Amino acid sequence: MTERGGRPIVLVHGAWHGGWCWRRVADRLTDAGCRVYTPTLTGLGERVHLRDRGNDLDLHVSDILGLLRFENLDDVVLCGHSYAGMVITGVADRAAEQLHSLVYVDAYVPADGQCVLDIRPARQNEILMERVREAGEGWLMPPTPAATFGVETDADRHWVDTHCVPMSLRCFQQPIRLQSPPPRLARHYVRAARNDNDAFRRHFDTFRDDAAWRVHEVDCGHEVMVDRPSWLGDLLLEVAGMP
């Protein structure tokens, strides 16, 4: 049974970000009466003091599994942006019975055994690894500038750039290990039309011909939650079954 206020919605941020980046979307959902959770993954945002060379994908999956457990969440709409597509895929593999649906927002959707570096375009990986060597002491990934992500206003670019922090390369290097067949959950894929990342475009092209998925396209850059929060909030309300 879904409690009053609709299904709980968990919003998982991508690389370099923190729960802070969902503020506008969370406000829209809260105003509509939803229970919303915006956890920050270990080593990022206000948890940057926990950053360590060993931070990896498994740790971040455990972060969200812990949230589901200790908040006693069921029938959850689980939404992940960018790198968090890896995270929510891992969570769904281990806790499908607690989920209602998955929403990938311009995000990676891995197969078993893939890591982020396997899915990203090769040229982007070359640029990333060069930055890790030159500015990340060989293990930290410096944040991608908000302008590169296509954030639309100067104020928002400043907000994103001053809150993003470096993160462990292990998060992009560790392959996901899936223990079971894909769970039978409602699945949505959101593509940011102005983002030229070939990985996300390939996901979108594949899933729009797959009856197991619903696909959506929005006219903005990669930071959908920053530039189109009302649009994304309305989509999540629909997924959650809110009027």
Reported as half-sphere exposure (CB side, CA atoms, 13 A), residue 88 has a value of: 31
- In whole angstroms, give the CA distance from residue 36 to residue 31: 10
The one catalytic residue in 62, 82, 101, 230 is 82
Q: For this structure, is 230 an active site residue?
A: no
- In whole angstroms, give the CA distance from residue 21 to residue 160: 8
What is the phi/psi pair of residue 45, to 5°?
Answer: 50, -135
Of the candidates 114, 112, 113, 88, the one whose C-alpha atom is nearest the C-alpha of residue 101 is: 88
CB atoms within 10 A of CB 208: 14
Supply the residues annotated as catalytic.
82
